[in-house]
């Protein structure tokens, strides 16, 4: 769901053209929702493939509608969206990753959501916030993502611990005990360097009360809270509790399976991955909330569904989006994909309501923090990536690294 920082620069080169071609909308007559028509939809990755089946079900109940779904790989999604926006050929409905929405809303190519018919209270706060840009809402939350702590229950018991760590201080102690008493090679895994290292850092940063930008959009990445969080993060590397580098394409689940790594922060899709790939450790691992500092706060991710400002089929597009994002549609989507529903009511029945592991995800989403939807967000976070690497590799103190990032981000956040 993430793109290289350079991609934002590509978008800016077409922004002036988009202002002329996209902001005014289609300019033609709108097709009524009950008229015969074809909706074009782009969705990314596995979601794009699974949405094809859902579209067929929708067509059976709405015979006047044909839904043409185009699955798009995440590796080319941003490039295709920028090119389509520049040419005035965006689909009627498109999946918007959290790092995309602000950029495309800023271009003027997305239709604002009618908040009189789409209820904010139906969705997790962070999911809704991720769909906002400059005081308007441009997407309806489709599914959510966050990070929680995965841990080997058998190794925690072997280390003499009563359960997973509940605080950041307990996590340091647990990582040490796992190395010393359970004979694990490492105590924990978080990313040490490279693109999007910031995603591993968010649970530490947000739980400590820190942020990259404050609510007014002012850079605060060198605040006392942020420095404390990065000092804590870096301490694991100073104490050799985490490896300082991993090979390209490193898959932590392999080391989790062998017990080399007994704890890591991961997303919801990893539960199915572990069950499918490593059935021998089924029952020997569990998930727990992010250990608390000031609070237990994780990052919020996921995707929204947005409608093109140029679409001539907005009425039908809105009905299709509503179908995908109401409680019934979200519960069905979870069964098909295991994507966590953004609609809270979808969690009131079935496994979503009764599975203890899923309860952890729901509770974490209630406090999860969304990143701001800004056109240059990935450029901003790349500066934090650099700061984190300087600390984990022992080249800088947390204070100096974040002071440097603060200065660089001030020029990007203006």
Domain residue spans of the chain: 6-146+300-370, 148-299+377-412
Using the structure block, give the residue that is written with the tokens 């089946």. 53
Give the model's pLDDT for residue 122. Answer: 97
Give the C-alpha distances (Å, rounded to integers) separating 98 from 6, 83, 129, 279, 311: 17, 19, 10, 32, 22
Q: Is the pLDDT confidence value at 12 over 70?
A: no
pLDDT range class, residue 23, cuts 50, 70, 90: very low
Q: Is the pLDDT confidence value at 130 over 80?
A: yes
pLDDT range class, residue 159, cuts 50, 70, 90: very high
Give the C-alpha distances (Å, rounded to integers) separating 7 from 268, 292, 308, 353, 376: 27, 35, 20, 40, 9
Q: Is the pLDDT confidence value at 17 over 60?
A: no
CATH code of 6-146+300-370, in short, is 3.40.190.10
Residue 116 buriedness (CB in 10 A; 0-12 / 13-18 / 19+): exposed
Give the model's pLDDT for residue 337. Answer: 92
pTM recorded for the entire structure = 0.88
Fold agreement (6-146+300-370, 148-299+377-412): yes
CATH topology of domain 148-299+377-412: D-Maltodextrin-Binding Protein; domain 2 (3.40.190)
């Amino acid at each position: 769901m993430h793109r290289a920082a350079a991609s934002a620069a590509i978008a800016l080169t077409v922004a002036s053209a988009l202002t002329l071609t996209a902001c005014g909308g289609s300019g033609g007559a709108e097709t009524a929702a009950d008229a015969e028509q074809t909706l074009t939809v782009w969705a990314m990755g596995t979601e794009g493939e699974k949405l094809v089946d859902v579209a067929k079900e929708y067509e059976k109940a709405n015979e006047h509608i044909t839904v043409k779904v185009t699955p798009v790989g995440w590796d080319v999604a941003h490039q295709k969206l920028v090119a389509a926006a520049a040419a005035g050929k965006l689909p009627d409905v498109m999946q918007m990753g959290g790092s995309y929405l602000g950029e495309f809303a800023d271009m003027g190519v997305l239709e604002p959501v009618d908040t009189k018919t789409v209820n904010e209270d139906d969705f997790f706060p962070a999911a809704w916030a991720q769909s906002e840009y400059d005081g308007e809402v441009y997407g309806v939350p489709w599914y959510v993502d966050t990070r929680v702590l995965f841990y080997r229950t058998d190794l925690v018991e072997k280390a003499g611990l009563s359960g997973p760590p509940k605080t950041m201080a307990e996590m340091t102690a647990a990582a040490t005990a796992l190395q010393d008493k359970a004979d694990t090679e490492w105590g924990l895994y978080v990313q040490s360097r490279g693109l999007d290292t910031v995603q591993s850092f968010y649970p530490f940063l947000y739980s400590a009360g820190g942020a990259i930008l404050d609510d007014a959009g002012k850079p605060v990445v060198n605040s006392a809270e942020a420095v404390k969080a990065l000092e804590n993060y870096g301490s694991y590397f100073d104490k050799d509790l985490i490896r300082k580098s991993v090979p390209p394409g490193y898959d932590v689940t392999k080391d989790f399976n062998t017990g080399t790594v007994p704890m890591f922060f991961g997303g919801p899709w990893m539960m199915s991955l572990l069950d499918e790939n490593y059935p021998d450790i089924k029952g020997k691992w569990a998930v727990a909330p992010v250990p608390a500092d000031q609070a237990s706060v994780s990052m919020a991710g996921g995707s929204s569904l947005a409608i093109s400002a140029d679409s001539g089929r907005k009425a039908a597009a809105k009905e299709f989006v509503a179908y995908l994002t109401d409680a019934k549609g979200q519960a069905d989507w979870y069964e098909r994909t295991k994507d966590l529903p953004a609609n809270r009511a979808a969690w009131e029945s079935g496994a979503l309501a009764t599975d203890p592991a899923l309860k952890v995800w729901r509770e974490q989403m209630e406090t999860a923090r969304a990143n701001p939807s800004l056109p240059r967000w990935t450029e901003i976070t790349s500066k934090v990536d650099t700061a984190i690497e300087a600390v984990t590799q022992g080249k800088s103190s947390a204070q100096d690294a974040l002071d440097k990032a603060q200065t660089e981000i001030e020029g990007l956040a203006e």
